[in-house]
A and B are shown apart, each in its own frame.
Chain A
Amino acid sequence: MGQTKQDEEYGYDLFPERSARKPTQITIRDSLFTFRNKCQVMLMFAMETSPYAKLLLSAMKNSGCKVFKDRHFSCEDCDGTVSGGFDAASSQIVLCQNNIHQQAHMNRVVTHELIHAFDHCRAHVDWFNNFRHLACSEIRAANLSGDCSFSNEVSRFNFGLKEHHQQCVRGRAVRSILAVRKVSLEEAQKIVDEVFDSCFNDHAPFGRIPHGNKDAKFAYREYVNRDRYYMNL
């Protein structure tokens, strides 16, 4: 994975620290005063308090992919405005410490990337060669992570009401594909259109589209009680 062409083709050039392959000398000063420490603290908070994250972590553990913070998360500096990514090759979620500055944003990015990791864990997702698979996971991540909540869209000055959530999900899925693969806008839109109905309706592991923390808490409660649920159907 050291070739530049391959790096560009799969979006690795957005995450320069991944392909540097140089040991990062982290000094005490670095860990106390840089973005890395803030990133680590926000990550821990997200994992422990966000019902979205807790549900996904629980679901992954039950699927045989227990998530270890130090192994499966990596706080790094990234290019541009990208907030995070999932690297299937190393089974790691990358968090862009230079672009995530608020806890709510961290919660959302962690949720979004955990959805990719969850898909990787439970299905044969061909991240590198099958654009339909990539689109599907991006649709699910935009749909279920709160990326497209009304308030988030308003903060991006995207004003819309009736069914705007779906428009947002489509748009963000297309953007995510364009960011990491060399395809045209039309191609990306066509792929998203092809798989939208299927993937928009796949709400695993939430069982619903969580519109906020209350929804996510109800979904988490449902998940925690699933043994009793299935036993009594």
Chain B
Amino acid sequence: MQPPRACEDYLSEFRHCKSFRNRFHHYYTYGTAPSCQQWKADYHNCSEWERHKLTEAKDALQKSERRRLEEQKNFTPVWKLRQAPPGDWHRPLDQETQQDS
């Protein structure tokens, strides 16, 4: 097992999160300041996991990522998801245009 992301990814996400541009856009979108500490903690845990194979670091990191995923699903979908793509997506166009399929 390895960390879900490369450790540099956590660091770059942290830095990006704290950047003026991101803080500005977060305020513009949500009216609040972003919270970036979790990325920093994740970076720390990722390094500990990779370098020292610490179980607590691994567990903390995985827990943090699972929470992030949960937050992504924080809504009730308006529509039903498909089990398969639409059957006519690749159907050739039946018009006399220059397009080919």
List the interface of chain A (C-beta within 8 A of B). Answer: 21, 23-24, 26, 63-65, 68, 70-71, 74, 90-92, 119-126, 132-133, 136, 149-150, 161-166, 195, 197-199, 201-203, 207, 209, 211-212, 214-215, 218, 221-222, 225, 228-230, 232-233
Contact B25 A212 (CB under 8 A): yes
Q: Which A residues are in CB contact (< 8 Å) with B80?
A: 123-124
Q: Would A65 and B75 be within 8 Å (CB), given that A23-B97, A124-B80, A214-B16 are in contact?
A: no
Contact B1 A232 (CB under 8 A): yes
What are 26 A-B pairs at a CB distance below 8 A?
A23-B96, A64-B84, A64-B89, A70-B100, A90-B93, A121-B82, A122-B81, A123-B77, A123-B81, A133-B78, A136-B78, A136-B79, A149-B25, A150-B28, A161-B27, A163-B28, A165-B28, A198-B77, A199-B75, A199-B78, A202-B77, A211-B25, A211-B28, A214-B16, A221-B9, A230-B4
A221 to B65, alpha carbons, bound, how many Å? 16
List CB contacts (< 8 Å) of B1-42 with chain A. Answer: 1-6, 9, 12-13, 16, 21-22, 24-25, 27-31
Contact B25 A123 (CB under 8 A): no
List the interface of chain B (C-beta within 8 A of A). Answer: 1-6, 9, 12-13, 16, 21-22, 24-25, 27-31, 62, 65-66, 69, 72, 74-82, 84-86, 88-93, 95-101
A119 to B81, alpha carbons, bound, how many Å? 9
A47 to B99, alpha carbons, bound, how many Å? 18
Contact B24 A150 (CB under 8 A): yes
A197 to B92, alpha carbons, bound, how many Å? 37
A124 to B87, alpha carbons, bound, how many Å? 12
Q: Which B residues are in CB contact (< 8 Å) with A24?
A: 97-98
* Other-chain residue from A90, A136, A161, A225 in contact with B28 (beta carbon distance below 8 A): A161
A37 to B25, alpha carbons, bound, how many Å? 35
